[in-house]
Amino acid sequence: MFAAFSDNRVVSVARCKRHTDGMELDGVFTPDELRGHGYANAAVWGLVEACGHDTMYMHSVATLTGFYGHYGFLLIPEYELPDTIRERYAWAQGEMEGANVAPMKRPPADPI
């Protein structure tokens, strides 16, 4: 779990979860009244810096694919998601667009 703080208060969070077949970014949240200050950016960058040595997957809200694109996430077809990550949206029965989510993948960062 990664968090951004302002005045010793958590203002945004992001989670990276290890599955048996891949890493998943999920749980990015900033309260409405705190949005627009770069807090989610700070939380996600912290997560990417710590977990970016592995390939990461996610189900992005469809309108936020550009936001996650800044961190190296690319749109992928649903079938490219690892099984355990794809399972989270099994109820959508292959209709990711209808569920307002878009599968994304971030390749591992190049070693320094």
pLDDT at 81: 92
Instruction: Look at residue 111 and tell me if it is in a domain.
Output: no
Does some domain include residue 14? yes
99: which residues sit within 8 A by CB, 6+ positions away?
89, 92
In the three-class reduction of DSSP (H, G, I as helix; E, B as strand; rest coil), residue 57 is classed as strand
**pLDDT for res 46:** 94
17: in domain: yes
Query: Residue 22's pLDDT band (boundaries 50, 70, 90)?
Result: confident
Q: What is the pTM of this model?
A: 0.85
HEC secondary structure over 66-93:
HHHHCCCCEECCHHHCCHHHHHHHHHHC
Name the nearest CA neighbour of 60 among 95, 19, 18, 103.
Answer: 103
CATH number at residue 99: 3.40.630.30
CA–CA separation, 111 vs 25, rounded Å? 20
Q: Is residue 112 part of a domain?
A: no
Q: Give me 15's structure tokens.
A: 């989670």
| Domains of the chain: total | 1
User: Residue 56 sits in which domain range?
Assistant: 2-106
Q: What is the pLDDT of residue 101?
A: 86
Question: Phi/psi at 89 (nearest 5 deg)?
Answer: -115, 30
- Indicate whether 39 belongs to any domain: yes
31 occurs within a structural domain: yes
Question: Does residue 95 lie within any of the structural domains?
Answer: yes
Average pLDDT over residues 25-33: 94
Domain assignment present for residue 35? The answer is yes
